[in-house]
Amino acid sequence: MLDALAAQLLLLRKRAATWILLCFWMLVTVVFAYVLPYFAYKGDIRFRARTGGVLLSVMLPHNLVSSLLGGFPAFGGIFVLILAVLAMGSEYTWGTLTPAFTQKASRLKVFFSKVLALAIAIVPFVVMVYLLGYIASMLIALKEGQSTQPPDLWLLVRALAFSWFILAVWASFGVMISVLSKGTSLAIGLGIIYGLVLEGVISAFSRQITLLGYLSKIFLRTNSYSLLSPLGVTFTGEGPGGFSGSTVSATQAAIVLAIEIVVFLAVAAAIVRRRDVTGAS
């Protein structure tokens, strides 16, 4: 199993898409969490005199967790979903699953080695974002002569763990839809539509329509935001990654997300074990 895991990690490390997705995710996070808010703060003197201090405080190092956490259930999830789809779906597109399954390793061994490799590969998608965010917040604090007090260590540890957990759910979802579609293009399209459009629309009407309210409580973003709420994350209904639906308790959210990981991987594993592995057209 270790040899298979090492091989899958090598494939992910050698794949250019892995590094491109990581770099874009880091760029998007820093731009929306620090660069644009800082320019908004510096660009309007009257704003700075009124409520600009609140915006500046959010960008300081001690507020690192609240500044970054909100991006993981939406944009971070989509980036990792694409990574998972490419890692699994590309095997169908390239026709490389057939020779892999005809070797000594069983289908499930190959499948779960890919899953474990993905679980390890998303660690940098968490750590590097927080590291870059901390550097950006420190630069802003030093430039503005503000406190460089670091975030609470226990809060940061929980934020790192929850961020990884949320990305793991999205990766599992990406694995499942890539196996179902036997490729990458359709799976990526469906994942983006679900993550940035479908969930947002249904959640927006969940307060008015009871059935949609119940349905939204099993959604990835609903439970992800609910899980993060006790850590101080705030979210709005504005923008493509916005969220305006109801939330659930953090405990319920953690249970639902854990169940979803199991279900997504179980469905994908069952299909991989039984179905023909020739690629989709």
Residue 116 has pLDDT above 90, yes or no: yes
The answer to whether 220 touches 260, Cβ cutoff 8 Å, is: yes
Residue 280 has pLDDT above 50, yes or no: no
Q: Which residue type sits at 31? A: V
Please tell me whether the overall predicted TM-score, pTM, comes out greater than 0.95 for this model. Answer: no
Which amino acid, 241? G
pLDDT (tens digit per residue) in 34-89: 998 888 888 766 655 566 677 788 899 999 998 898 889 888 999 999 999 998 88
Beta strands in 111-202 (DSSP E): none
Band of residue 281 on the pLDDT scale cut at 50, 70, 90:
very low
pLDDT given for residue 175 in this prediction? 94
pLDDT tens per residue across span 127-175: 999 999 999 999 999 998 898 999 999 999 999 999 999 999 999 999 9
Cβ distance 264 to 194 under 8 Å? Answer: no
Q: What is the pLDDT of residue 163?
A: 95
Least confident of 154-158, 196-200, 231-235, 251-255: 231-235
Q: CA 214: distance to chain centroid?
A: 23
Residue type, 22: L
As a whole number of angstroms, the distance between CA 85 and CA 187 comes to: 7
Q: Which of 12-16, 200-204, 211-215 is most confident? A: 12-16
